[in-house]
Amino acid sequence: MNQLKVKLTTYPDWDRNEQRKRNGLAIEILEKRRQKRSQITDEQEKEITEFFEDFQKLMDDFRPLGSRLYSQQ
């Protein structure tokens, strides 16, 4: 870890502020997702989970045995 810290502080082409600018859009998107996620009720979360479980089953049902994505069968 110490070697990485030294490299980051002495690396001539790495500019911390420039990197923050480059990551700005991604950080904004992640923050919006985090806020949206924090507003989901328990009932909505249960619906989302059930939907995803149904999706997994549906996808696996269309695939041949041994090529399942979500189940071990």
Q: Are 45 and 39 in contact (CB under 8 A)?
A: no
Q: Return the domain boundaries, the chain.
A: 1-39, 41-73
On whether the CB atoms of residues 42 and 55 are closer than 8 A, the answer is no
Query: The dihedral of CA 29, 32, 38, 43: what is its sign?
Result: negative
Distances (CA, A) of 57 to 23, 40, 73: 36, 24, 11
**Number of H helices and number of E strands within the chain?**
3, 0
Instruction: Note the pLDDT tens digit of each residue in 10-69.
Output: 666 667 888 888 899 999 999 999 999 999 999 999 999 999 999 999 999 998 888 888
Answering whether pTM is above 0.85, one says: no
